[in-house]
Amino acid sequence: MADGRPFDAVIANAGVMATPFGHTVDGFETQFGTNHLGHFLLVNRIVPMIARDGRLVVLASAGHRFTDVDLDDPGFERSPYAPFVAYGRSKTANVLFAVEFDRRHRDVGLRATAAHPGGIRTELGRHTDPSAEAQLIRTINERNAAAGLATFRYKTVAQGAATSVWTATVASADDVGGRYCEDCHVAAVVDDPEERGGVQSYALDPERAEALWTLSETMVGERFGDQAGA
């Protein structure tokens, strides 16, 4: 944008996972504030800098399957804090943000999608106990074996980036707009918690998406319109 040209694609991928209970400098619960509200505020502020036929890719996670957002208590002020519950809430919020952003901007050609990169060995898991991680992988592989699926393997960084690149530059906007993608395809709705892969229906609920948008505006103290800029 420094040379006057708009952004063709914005990939919102800042994130933390399963952190101890804490707050951002603005007073928001750490994971909800970092993973959702930070993206929500930044992206909406730079909308005029994004091309009208551009793309927004919001990095989500299979962790959204842990739980829906809690619109009444986003900061765990009235409920006990659990690191992966907080992570799940924030990742569901990522998907809902993409759903509502896409609805608000698709008429001018700016589309949004949520993307799950897959399991990658990065510093994102710095707060995860190694033994708990090993047990989780054993559980996943037991279920995979029972379902006739392949053994879980971590992706390389390049493999993890592939779905973001695909949704931003390759896939049809009408195919991925307002959807959740994984492994370079649009994920099916899978509400069975025992299944691996897919997206929970609550993460694509348009009414929940609009309600989260309204709550997020209240929390950050700013309101945003429905039109792209450039």
Active site includes 202?
Answer: no
Burial label for 89, CB within 10 Å (0-12, 13-18, 19+), is: buried
| CA–CA gap between residue 230 and residue 155 (Å, rounded) | 36
Taking phi over 0 as left and psi of -120 to 50 as alpha, with beta for the rest, 176 belongs to: alpha
CB atoms within 10 A of CB 68: 18
Neighbouring-strand partners of residue 113: 57
Q: Can you give the three-state secondary structure of 20-41, one letter per residue?
A: CCCECCCCCEHHHHHHHHHHHH
Phi, psi angles (nearest 5°) of residue 26: -90, 0
Instruction: Find the helix or strand (DSSP H, E) in which 143 lies.
Output: helix 130-146
Considering 87, 154, 180, 202, which one is annotated as catalytic? 87
- Which residues are catalytic, by number? 87
